[in-house]
Amino acid sequence: MSAYLHARDLSPSAREAVEQILGRALEDNELVNIRTRKLNQAPSPEAKEAARRGLREYFARIDEKTKHIPLDERDEIMDEAIRKVRPGYQPIR
C-alpha cells in the first residue's frame, strides 16, 4: 500500500512526524510518498506453483534451443559464464 501526499496538505502533526523521520523540514512543494510492505510473507501455494511452472517452461525452452550442443560443451559454456561473474570459481567435479 502506498500514499502520495503534498507536504502543503499535511496536518501540522503529520508534517512534524514526517519531518522528524526525515530529519529535515519539508518544503510545501514536496510530494511525500509513504509505502508499507509486509516482511517475510511467504508466497501462496498458488504463487509457488505458478513460479515452478514458469521455471519449467523457461528451462524447457532453453533445453530445446541447446539440444544440439553436446553436454560437455554446455558445461564448459556454463563454467565460462560463471567465471566471468565469479573469477575464482572452480567447478565441482
Q: Is 10 part of any domain?
A: yes
C-alpha cell at 72: 560437455
Q: Is 59 part of any domain?
A: yes
Q: Is 93 part of any domain?
A: no
- Residue 65: in which H helix or E strand, if any? helix 45-66
Whether the Cβ atoms of residue 43 and residue 51 lie closer than 8 Å to each other: yes
Residues 53, 79 within the same domain: yes
How many domains are contained in the chain? 2
Q: Which residues of 10-27 are buried (b: 16+ CB within 10 A; e: fewer)?
A: beeeebeebeeeeeeebe
pLDDT tens digits for 32-78? 999 988 888 889 999 999 999 999 999 999 999 999 999 999 999 99
Domain range spanning residue 22? Answer: 2-35
- Give residue 28's pLDDT: 96
pLDDT of residue 93 exceeding 80, the answer is no
- Give residue 39's pLDDT: 86
- Give residue 92's pLDDT: 81
Instruction: Give the chain's length.
Output: 93
